[in-house]
Amino acid sequence: MKILFRLALVGLFLSGLGFKAFADNPTADVNQMVNMSLEDLMNTKVTSATGRSENMNDVANAMYVISKEDIERSGARNVADLLYRVPGLQIRQIDSSQYGVGIRENGAFLTDNILVLIDGAVVFNPLFSGVTWEDLPVSLNEIERIEVIRGSPGVLYSSNAVNGVINIITKAADVKDNYVQQEGGTQSFRDSSIGVGDEKIGSTGLAFRAYLDNQFSQGFPKNSQNSSTIPGSFSDRYLSDRDGGRIDYTPSDHQRLSIIANNNQENSNTPNQETGGLTKTPGETTSAIINYTDKVTDRYDYSFHFDHVEMLGTAFNSNDAIVHVTSVNTQQNFHYDLFGSHVSSVGGELRYNDLHVTDMSPTTIFDGLVTNGQASQKVISFFAQDEYRPIEKLILTAGVREDSNSLVINEKPLYSPKASLLYHLTDNQSVWISSAKDYRTPSFLDHDLAIMGAAPNSYYPGYPGYYITGSTNLKPEANMTQEVGYRSLLLDQKLKVDATLFSTEVKDVIDFVDTSFSPPSTFNNGSLSTKGAELALDYQYNNDLSFSTDYSYLYPHMKPETSNTPSTVGYDTMASNNIVGIGTRYTLNKFKFDLYGKYFEGYTAGNTKIRGYYKTFMRISYDFVTPRCLGKLDSTVYLDVDDALGARQIEDSGNKIYMKPEVMAGIKVRF
Amino acid sequence: MIKNNMRMICAVFICALFFSSPAMADDSALPGTVFTAIMLKALSYDRNIDRQGKDKVVIGIVSPSDDAVAQGFASDIKDNITKVQSSFQLKGKPVDSDLVTLDKTFDKGKFSDQLKQDNVSVLVVVVSDAASVGNILEVTKQLQINSICGTPGCAQNGVGLEIIQTDNKPHMLSNANSIKQEGSDYNSKFLAMCEVVK
């Protein structure tokens, strides 16, 4: 039945419209281009910022693209690992599989304001509007690129894209990329994967691709240095089976239909401090996507998308919450000239979320969902935007989105406008500014549920636990964002500079408190203002050697309305954050070396350090051809050292946990 | 609810699929800068690019003497190669370029001698008519020289590697037989990025 249902899911997606090709890039120079990877040269298209393909230099957003080459050379084990290298993101690894990813905010476990897409399908869980990264139904080997927008992305994106968008784009079926990969590490990590795809079958326009990926980790033994809070050492366990496939059909050069299905069945075993055993938290995410694009003429193109995502309870306990997310959207783009050139985009979206919850045993540590039942959410959206180039160097963009969300009181329409300006100062320098208003509407958790988030004594003696009940009287969080950005290529185009200053003000912050305080439910609690700066430098010394560094500063300030209520949101106690990243990449004939590290620290208003941690990735690889008897296949062997600079330290509110480094070896054979 | 919507969604999908009007394919030449950059990066994937055993990789750019447009494009490619000469190498060897003019009266022996004399390892064929490359390719195969062109359809006519734009996006096509006969050894990672013409 499930297979039939997956097959029945239909989505059409049009993203290939109005390509702003690299060839048209006024800032492109052959020196700059030969320093890019061939993959990047062939794929410089960017779809995230406007929903259309667009040159990155023309985007008035803080944006970063993780290319296929970045992924292959990174030593990352999952998507969250890859995101460490993006400036402005704050990521906390919680155990072998769980991560907190925040854009321009602390990397809280349940970050609830990022839109995460896989081939256009929304994969954040509407239960809490957040992402369980270990459940993402995608294998690293199958990712073509990841586009990350920090800040408001614009009116063409779904709700929840308040702090940014992480857009994961997988490999097309008609690109031949067959591989077998095996890797293993000293902390029991292992991964086996295979992917098969081929060029079009004859003249039918049909192409198929499939993959399998099995990952296991028992690593990351954590050794606490603070025995009063977390005694002894413990480790967790993660096992995941990912598989999927896609069919691409290109009946003509201007039409493309993709049918994509992915599944991730995972089983996390987290240490139970009270029983001394492991608590199983299995989860499964299945997605089915259909994208259709058609460039009808040079003046008109459109996309159509449909997806269905099914998520089986990963939040609290085994299958205690089942969420179905179904959405359909279309975007129509019109290109015309009127006192300059215009691209006008209009479209709409229908999203339907369906939640089923099951009461859990009160004896479990995580008491889970207290209420049984079903809830649903319907979101209907319309958007319009015009991108106007009065002269070649100037791009003005303005648009508005209207969302009607059934979890908002009286389904009051919410209007989210955005305006931006980008100006090319010279061939190699540009500045941009933007202003936007977005809404984060309540999640099911905020609105409907009653949950024992954590029982007293769950973590250590005296821990009060917390209890959440939803409220149907919540106003959506309203977020105003202002940004100024600068991009340039300096020093004979060897130095790339990307800088952003931003300011955000979130009103009616949705907060929750311990039940010992009043009110005992989610409620709107004042505002949160955040100011920050991001700077990324990339220096290409020559064709083989490059260096990169990035620095982000974040100053969040919570202004609660109820001063005597201790907020449990988490970001209120943090007054400033510093994030520093540094990396290098070197190629010597068939040897490749990559190193990247990131350091995070957080301080209170009194300048007391309450958080500090880092993570590093290193990969050394060697390309070779298998002997003739093995078919002369292109292959790569590699050695990864996770946390090459020593044991990782996670320090948070007095808890110090060290995770041991892991050395991994692997081989990838392409056929 | 979902079931009800499925009917509407399927109907919209079918409408979108069948009521859209067809458009013409849009293959054309790339600008010289983009063509040159992609060509140089592509050559770095050829494990036999140094098979001539010379101390530098000379890229010959051939265009007909009576085709001013082709000659202009050839000059553009040469200028771009000159710009990156100081920083770009292929298998540790510097890159150089050489303009070669193709006379109306094509003499295969003379042409072959000139390529040998100029130590050409790669030949960029700049022609307006993709079907007119046959004689040239006999020489590239004989001398084990990579043939590359930027004219739509030339890979179909036997050129080893075609770098063009399709719908304003760079696109590469490789002729598997020609590549083999010319002695090139592109790795599969590179070939995965090309449309293979047999």
* pLDDT tens digits for range A345-391: 999 999 999 888 765 544 443 344 445 577 889 999 999 999 999 99
Question: Nearest by CB to B83, which of A30, A543, A589?
Answer: A30
Instruction: Indicate whether A215 pLDDT > 60.
Output: yes
Instruction: Indicate whether A604 pLDDT > 50.
Output: yes
Please give, rounded to a whole number of angstroms, the shortest distance from the CA of B31 to a CA of chain A: 6
Q: Which residue of B has its CA nearest to A494?
A: B87
Among candidate residues A574, A603, A581, A588, the one with its CA nearest the CA of residue A535 = A581
- The complex's ipTM works out to 0.80
pTM > 0.80: yes or no: no
Residue A537 lies in a domain: yes
Residue A217 lies in a domain: yes
Write down the pLDDT at residue B72: 85
Residue A469 lies in a domain: yes
Average pLDDT score over residue span A628-648: 79
Write down the pLDDT at residue A317: 52
Distance in angstroms (rounded) separating the CA atoms of residues A58 and A79 = 26
Distance in angstroms (rounded) separating the CA atoms of residues A429 and A493 = 11
pLDDT (tens digit per residue) in A309-358:
998 875 555 556 788 999 999 999 999 999 989 999 999 999 999 888 76
Please give the mean pLDDT across all residues of chain A.
79
Among A429-438, A647-656, B110-119, B178-187, top mean pLDDT goes to A429-438
Confidence band, pLDDT 50/70/90 cuts, at residue A126: confident
Write down the pLDDT at residue A25: 38
Chains A and B: how many Cβ contacts under 8 Å? 151
Write down the pLDDT at residue A582: 95
Question: Domain span at residue A441?
Answer: 2-274+293-644+656-670
Q: Which residue of B has its CA nearest to A328?
A: B9
Confidence band, pLDDT 50/70/90 cuts, at residue A158: confident
Distance in angstroms (rounded) separating the CA atoms of residues A659 and A222 = 5
Write down the pLDDT at residue A542: 77
Average pLDDT score over residue span A197-214: 82
Higher pLDDT, A416 or A53: A416
Residue A281 lies in a domain: no
pLDDT (tens digit per residue) in A541-559:
877 889 999 999 998 887 7
Confidence band, pLDDT 50/70/90 cuts, at residue A298: confident
Residue A9 lies in a domain: yes
Write down the pLDDT at residue B6: 47
A10/B13 CB distance under 8 A:
yes
Residue A279 lies in a domain: no
Query: Which of A7, A15, A17, A42 is the best mutation test for B, with the most CBs of B within 10 A?
Result: A42
Total tally of structural domains belonging to chain A: 1
For A625-671, the three-class secondary structure string (H helix, E strand, C coil) is ECCHHHCCCEEEEEEEEECCCCCEEEEECCEEEEECCEEEEEEEEEC
Instruction: Indicate whether B189 pLDDT > 60.
Output: yes
Q: What is the CATH number of the domain that holds A327?
A: 2.40.170.20
Helix H or strand E encompassing A145: strand A143-150
pLDDT (tens digit per residue) in B165-186:
876 678 899 998 888 889 888 8
Contacts of B190 in chain A (CB under 8 A): 38
Residue A456 lies in a domain: yes
Minimum mean pLDDT among A256-270, A420-434, A656-670: which range? A656-670
pLDDT (tens digit per residue) in A482-508:
999 999 988 877 889 999 999 999 999
Higher pLDDT, A16 or A89: A89
Write down the pLDDT at residue A132: 85
Q: Which residue of B has its CA nearest to A294?
A: B20
Residue A284 lies in a domain: no
Please give, rounded to a whole number of angstroms, the shortest distance from the CA of B64 to a CA of chain A: 25
Confidence band, pLDDT 50/70/90 cuts, at residue A149: very high
Q: Which residue of A has its CA nearest to B42?
A: A38
Distance in angstroms (rounded) separating the CA atoms of residues A368 and A117 = 27
Helix H or strand E encompassing B143: helix B134-143
Please give the mean pLDDT across all residues of chain B.
80
In this structure, what are the phi and psi dihedrals at residue A310, rounded to the nearest 5 degrees? -115, 125
Question: Nearest by CB to B170, which of A22, A30, A376?
Answer: A22
Instruction: Indicate whether A229 pLDDT > 60.
Output: no
Question: Nearest by CB to B23, which of A295, A634, A670?
Answer: A295
Write down the pLDDT at residue A48: 52
Among A270-284, A414-428, A619-633, top mean pLDDT goes to A414-428
Among candidate residues A494, A120, A256, the one with its CA nearest the CA of residue B169 = A256
A45/B172 CB distance under 8 A:
no
